[in-house]
Amino acid sequence: MILVTGGAGFIGANFVLDWLRTSDEPVVNLDALTYAGNLENLASLKGDPRHVFVQGDICDRALIDRLFAEHQPRAIVHFAAESHVDRSIHGPGDFVRTNVNGTFTLLEAARGHWMSLEGEARAGFRFHHVSTDEVYGSLGPTDPAFTETKTYEPNSPYSASKAASDHLVRAWHHTYGLPVTTSNCSNNYGPYHFPEKLIPLMIANALAGKPLPVYGDGMQIRDWLFVTDHCSAIRAILANGTPGEVYNVGGWNEKPNIEIVNTLCALLDELKPDPAGSYRRLITYVTDRPGHDRRYAIDARKIERELGWRPAETFDTGIRKTVEWYLANQDWVAHVQSGAYRDWVEKNYAGRE
């Protein structure tokens, strides 16, 4: 049995689905079901006894202790986090609460559980913390990609809260011996991605004939990782990662945002043409967000060298699969675009014209 936090969100749900496709080991899935958590992501597991869903808050120590006592998980995979930079600018308190205090609560509960174990159970226990490349700060055009030893230089409330959680995880290993691993991943994309982030937002807006808002000059560069490749990396770390180690996970796909938007428009022109003309006509440059990091790039050679992991998808194959999934799952998109979602989009993009 493994315990997954945030397993109804984008990456967490993909991990749970992927895990149960490749393993019969059961999953206890803890998620608070905030705006980005969605049980529709897990609809295919309805009635599957290998999947135990619990709605709850990672800051609830009594609940976490009960789950450890009841299910005796051999590992925890910690996805649960507030993760959208724009939201962190508008409301940083939620990010500190969930990402910092929540991680602290999980670490303390995990430490108590681990210390109660004996023999092989204690030796085999793992706490895997899922983090982000944003903790490393911003790169210049010719700077080398982020390695695991890169100095932390977070520039947003989101990345600062994740950096804090990374430091807590490291400290719990070095101070208490808790067997932890951490992965810092690049931008994920794929099925079930909540449409506030770049790729799903552009797809949803294009299909609705709405403007495609591009921040600044659109030349912010990110490394893109298909979500199932991220899932396979975490499985590799759980299986063979060294306690106390950090592994950077990337897709070897550095691309500027405007190139991503143009690629999406071209795929939609091919797969669902609009009689009004190319979707590129909807591209609209808007005022950049405050403190927008210019470039991220992941050096993923450590996980390749030590654990034999490499991404299976190229960007071309992954982005086509993503667009095809959204076209085939328009009901899912419509359901997550609630009144609260529309209010958020209006709040975030108001006055950026």
For position 37, what pLDDT does the model report? 82
Judge contact between 180 and 187, C-beta under 8 A.
no
Q: Which has the closest alpha carbon to 182: 135, 102, 107, 246?
A: 246
Q: What is the pTM of this model?
A: 0.93
Please tell me which residue in 31, 133, 196, 254 is annotated as part of the active site.
Answer: 133
pLDDT beneath 70: ranges in the chain: 338-353
The residues spanned by each domain of the chain are 2-188+224-250+295-312
- Candidates 136, 158, 215, 247; catalytic one: 158
Instruction: Give me the pLDDT at residue 347, please.
Output: 61
Locate 300 and state its tokens: 């993923």
Task: Enter the tokens of residue 57.
Answer: 């808050």
Residue 126: strand, helix, or coil: strand
Label residues 287-300 b or e (16+ Cβ within 10 Å = b). Answer: eebeeebebbbbbb
Name the DSSP letter for residue 43: G
Instruction: State how far the alpha carbon of 100 is from the alpha carbons of 58, 110, 184, 195, 298, in Å.
Output: 11, 15, 16, 25, 24
Q: Are 263 and 339 in contact (CB under 8 A)?
A: no
Nearest residue to 216 (alpha-carbon basis) of 288, 283, 295: 288
Q: Is 134 a catalytic residue?
A: yes
CB contact burial 244-280 (16+ within 10 A = b; e otherwise): ebbbbbbbbbbbbbbebbbbbbebbeeeeeeeeeebe
Q: What phi, psi does 224 have (nearest 5°)?
A: -110, 135
**What pLDDT was estimated at residue 196?**
79
The CA-to-CA distance between both ends of the chain, in Å, stands at 50
Say which of 31, 86, 134, 166 is annotated catalytic: 134
Helices marked H in 196-309 — which ranges? 198-207, 227-240, 257-271, 301-307
Counting Cα atoms < 13 Å in the Cβ hemisphere of 52 gives 11
Q: In the numeric block, which tokens belong to residue 256? A: 């500027």
CB 132 within 8 A of CB 182: no
Show the tokens assigned to 134.
């944003």
| Structure letter (DSSP) for residue 272 | S
What is the sign of the dihedral through the CA atoms of 146, 151, 154 and 160? positive
pLDDT tens string 321-335: 999 999 999 999 888
Quick one: pLDDT at residue 35? 77
Instruction: Give the helix/strand (H/E) hosting 345.
Output: helix 339-349
The identity of residue 209, as a single letter, is G
The whole-angstrom separation of Cα 257 and Cα 221 is 6
CA-based nearest residue to 7, from 51, 63, 59, 67: 51
Residues 201/145, Cβ–Cβ less than 8 Å: no
**Protein fold of 2-188+224-250+295-312:** Rossmann fold (3.40.50)
